[in-house]
Chains A and B, each alone.
Chain A
């Protein structure tokens, strides 16, 4: 029996294109899977069965008419609820947008539709992408398919968990400080943060505009590359969109798997180690580095002294931008309105609505950002953080003169227990220690599974970092490592996850 939900996106697309299965069959298989397991996972905030089937039917009709299908035509996908979808609920995991039906599509949404990708629904996330565990969703936490008592990472826990529980072969995430890579790491899936400006942010609800970047999530490097090419590229509606050809990531993924990485210079960042790193994570990471060496890569230790200050800089810059970005949720034009009884003024209704509509982490960050931008504090906090950002960029620049890519563990630990860090923001923030510098510099980064930690049997992620617009290097290295690991393991890592 072939389980359609176990296939990779590339396999599914090929099967649909050659008529082995219909897109509708594929969509139905995934909708069935969602119906079967998602009450335990809570990966989806909204399932659009009708829309998915309609899109699938359209693909089948195209094929019947002899039209050429795109490389992902008919492949189902979970779309992070941070992207607007016309007429389909978009909540960003927040009560303040409960029931909102956007009147327009995000550019990513539009490109997915144009690529005939079948959008199954909207995936769960930390409210407005603020969090590392998806516990901050107003609609309940998402659970890690490896251990339902553990977090699936965040903010894109819904997307990662949907992949790991075979509810979708593809998902879209957003990465502001690691929200694609960290969930990928703790769920045994692949996640890529493209170069800032590589994927349009238009219609992606802003958390921290200078850091946010949408990107692909998948179970294999090649699938991620296929999705990357479907959504990336210049968009005139986003001023920070890069007007240059998309790096050839699919080709790079294929090359990596077949030609390897001989002669590649790989940097191991000194700062991503030491206290706070779980032994099993470090072990699997070091084994992978040795594997890269065995594959012909030259391994170099790299010193990036400013990276130690990335976390504090991030927790000033991101909250500052979010305090401004989230000001628009004021109960005037869309979303929740509380206290409109004729007695309260607009000002009061806004404050009452925001109080009722935002969760604790969002409020914390809004106030932290408001503080960091306040007159009298700006220079010491926001201004200083932006200077640290410059130093981090310089560290990367220096590093990339010596090596082609950098590698590190994606996260210091494997998935922690739900509730463990829920009201300890500082502990929670440590989950993004290794992922944050990339966001501050605008570079590209990938996380892919590199094994299970011996002490808890949970997935460990390896992070690869490349210079801006060299996203293809991630795929080249990632695919090579993936192929070598697969050869060692004999089967995909997700086959080791407990059955649901």
Chain B
């Protein structure tokens, strides 16, 4: 037994190191795939060794062992199969949904592990602590925390998933007195820990279930109150929570690898949330407890600078692009919605064949997931070295002939730069208005999710190209102004 324990510890150490390497590898495109493989190996070692140890440690009769083994095997095979199918089927535009639902699974698993541990605290390698001892109390508190965080992650992620799919409206649902509701629910969850700890054996189970339900309600309520375009923050925050849930499960089970991995994932999600919040010039508290689209935002119609909008037709835009030396394309969520990325790639190819410099400018919160635009562009086959971050490209706009804004709104709003009255004043934005000409592809004249009027649409050097983004871009590519010359160049 002792030697097995030692082997497990070493295996967990190796797996932990591989996970760290995996995350580290993702820092650059060159090493990213190696990083992913490190993660897979780490996971393989951890699961394999645990399975072997578990199988050898079981000491009961062969009959019931077979049941247990087949139960585990079935769980692994079914889960693995579902996961593979999901991974293969998902469209890149649907990545936010997949990520959200995977978070919910971790949360759900954490809840299940918590309950299982409550019902049967005896696990291999650690006997159940004697009732009433400090160890036992600590163990029960750990279970309560694990279940609460897990349930919150689970329901929150499911709501986020539904919002991202469009099953639920992206609009924030704001109950009156919602801060008070949140506070009461949170207090009750804390209060429920007491009977869970005090009642002997498993008699506290109803309280534990109530606690899980309340935490679940809290999760639903918190995410319901958050608007569609704040989703990058919410998803990364839930990413973080799923990590903390795993770490809490690690405490429950006294498993260091779970703790380490959970902590890694937790801090990763936290950092992503911070990056997203900085990109919107808001604090995390402001995102979670509401800001835009809520009571303190100005109504979009009143006081909006109703200005003139100049429309342009496909052919005019095409000839403008044909004459341009440098073009920057700014994609937003609208590009994902219209699934326009491959048309964008065709356009890029056509322009580059003419010798035009084409680059992409990505705002950190473009889309519904951190880095979402990069993945979509990569899917379409656009090389990643012409896809630049906001800081890298912002000072190049004044030297740019044409900027193509595809389905983005708030992230290019010049009001954030110079209009102190604008609700998004101070948010770092892509300064597209400095370019010679800005073409905005848009379905219609709706305001962005923040309900903020965008003065970009009314300035002198902006032209609008209305319609579905994909059809518009396909129209541009087919337009004689672009296609003829590119054909002769090819």
A and B: bona fide binding partners:
no
